[in-house]
């Protein structure tokens, strides 16, 4: 999925010319190399998402974290509404 994200970001940059998408693509590539590649240059298929109390917590972001990520960027903040990101959240922990 992360490779698909990288491809999409580079294509969006090519279409729009907006530098934010180039930055995101570079950040994504840096993540792939630093976190997903082993010392032999092979890629892992996943990362352990268990953190403290429950599986997947590593990938959860609070409402304020999401707003902060969009605050200083040129990304359309209406995306928050389109993705149904709310203060209450949209993930239920079992």
Give the residues across from 54 on adjacent strands.
Answer: 51
Average pLDDT over residues 6-35: 90
User: Mutual orientation of helices 2-16 and 19-35 as an angle, nearest 10°?
Assistant: 160
Q: Evaluate if residue 1 carries a pLDDT over 90.
A: no
pLDDT for res 40: 94
Confidence of residue 49 (pLDDT cuts 50, 70, 90): low
Sequence ranges of the domains in the chain = 1-43, 48-94
Confidence of residue 26 (pLDDT cuts 50, 70, 90): very high
Confidence of residue 77 (pLDDT cuts 50, 70, 90): low
Read off the tokens for 52: 């403290």
Is 6 in contact with 29 (CB distance < 8 Å)?
Answer: yes
pLDDT for res 86: 83
């Amino acid at each position: 999925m992360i490779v698909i994200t990288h491809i999409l970001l580079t294509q969006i940059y090519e279409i729009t010319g907006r530098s934010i998408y180039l930055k995101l693509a570079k950040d994504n590539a840096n993540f792939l190399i630093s976190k997903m590649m082993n010392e032999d240059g092979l890629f892992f298929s996943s990362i352990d998402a268990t953190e403290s109390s429950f599986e997947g917590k590593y990938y959860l972001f609070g409402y304020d974290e999401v707003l902060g990520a969009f605050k200083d960027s040129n990304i359309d903040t209406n995306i928050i509404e389109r993705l149904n990101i709310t203060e209450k959240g949209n993930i239920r922990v079992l």
